[in-house]
Amino acid sequence: MRCGLTGGKGVPASVGRHPIVFATFTAPSFGAVHHRHVPRHTCATRQRCDCRPAPCRARSTAGTCPHGQPAACFARHDADDPRLGQPLCLDCYNHDHQVVWNYFSGELWRRTKQAIERHLAALCPQRGIPLVRVATASGKVRWVPPVRVSHGKVAEMQRRAAVHFHALLRLDGIDSDDPDALVPPPAGITVDDLDAAVHAAARQITVTTPPHPDQPQGWLVAWGEQVDVRRINSAGGELTDSKVAAYLAKYATKATEVTGHSFTRLTPATIDNYADPGGDHTARLIDACWQLGRPTDTDTASGAATVNRRQAGLDTESNAYAGLRRWAHMLGFGGHFLTKARRYSVTFGLLRDTRATYRRTEDDDTADVITLCALSYAGSGWLSDGDALLANTAARQRRESRRIGREELAHEAWLTGAAA
């Protein structure tokens, strides 16, 4: 990610002079949740923030929700409060809409990126910047806008289990002689224009999902109101490349742990252990994934029972929501934590090939280097349901044994104290 900001590993250092912004796109609200807001920070570092937060949701006339739950919260939550991200009322919260938003957020990002480039392309003729003549590999000639946006993006799961994106957006130009070259954008297009294009696209772009039996008109997928755009390495820039690279690096090891739960891929044999329409927030999200991802072309009871017994073939053309079952363990989000444009930076494939070449050539005497095998991912988890049942039974017996042991020790301590 940092190579796309400063160059290196085959990326020219001149990219550090291109206009770059760091944008954060969040999900909209699906219901009121507990949150921690600090109006004014006085701490030395945000990682160890001990500032006094404001009341969570102070409402003098809020009353109660239709389900009888308080619609206000006057608590000042600590940073590690387990209530953070939890809905004030689980029954009021729209779990279906949230998992659908997670599932279609990739399409929303794709359209947003296109809208940003179109916004910038529309500025070029207004400012007298001509189109660029480019010859394709097949020999055809095309006239294209002289500016494009290259991105690198990471996905982060919030405590409320909704995904939001952190994106590096770099403004590049186009060289008519070498379309793949990384050249600066035209002088008439600046970082101010990139900033405005991001905000305009975030406000305008929405996705209406395909019809579903539970929602015939589909769901509206749009960005939330909190769209933050900061400039990098520019005059008056708020961030430096090293800070951004360090900030993004932490997401390489994150998944759903921030919600308090982590899972492997769920199957019909294990779904009942995690999905519960009357359970906690995460259990309801998993249940929403499983219910919305059910096959929609099977109406008979026997057919539905047959489909519920199988995991294969969940992704079908007849059901645009079938993938929700495949990604129920990720609460609907099926994307990779890191994606980037092909021209943004060096590729993982090139890095792997470079490391392999280095290993083969680091010794002068290559005759002693022998490649024994190539490792590939085979799978994870138990080989059969029987193995999983035995392992879970043994683990449950072990937990029960430890609980009984703790109770006996506490009883002995109480007897000793009573006798004394």
Q: What digits encode the pLDDT tens for the residues 66-89?
A: 888 888 888 888 888 888 888 989
Contact predicate 163/155, CB 8 Å: yes
Residue 253 has what pLDDT? 57
Least confident of 101-110, 138-147, 247-256, 389-398: 247-256
Average pLDDT value for the chain: 82
Residue 103 has what pLDDT? 94
Q: What digits encode the pLDDT tens for the residues 290-323?
A: 999 988 664 433 444 434 434 334 444 467 899 9
Q: What digits encode the pLDDT tens for the residues 182-224?
A: 888 888 889 999 999 999 999 999 999 999 999 999 999 999 9
Q: Where are the domains of the chain?
A: 3-35+83-336
Q: Please write down the HEC assignment for all residues of 219-284.
A: CEEECCCCEEEEEECCCCCCECHHHHHHHHHHHHHCCCHHHCCCCCCCCCCCHHHCCCCCCCHHHH
Q: What is the mean pLDDT of the segment spanning 367-380?
A: 71
Retrieve residue 95's tokens: 């779990």
Residue 105 has what pLDDT? 93
Residue 310 has what pLDDT? 40
Contact predicate 219/209, CB 8 Å: yes
Type of residue numbered 274: Y
pLDDT of residue 260 exceeding 70, the answer is no
φ/ψ (deg, to 5) at 170: -110, 135
φ/ψ (deg, to 5) at 231: -95, 150
Q: What digits encode the pLDDT tens for the residues 114-170?
A: 999 999 999 999 988 988 888 877 778 888 888 999 998 888 888 888 998 999 999
Q: What is the mean pLDDT of the segment spanning 10-14?
A: 85
Q: Whole-angstrom Cα distance, residue 55 to residue 58?
A: 6
pLDDT of residue 100 exceeding 50, the answer is yes
Q: Whole-angstrom Cα distance, residue 288 to residue 100?
A: 9
Q: What digits encode the pLDDT tens for the residues 35-44?
A: 888 888 777 6
pLDDT of residue 282 exceeding 60, the answer is yes
Residue 108 has what pLDDT? 95
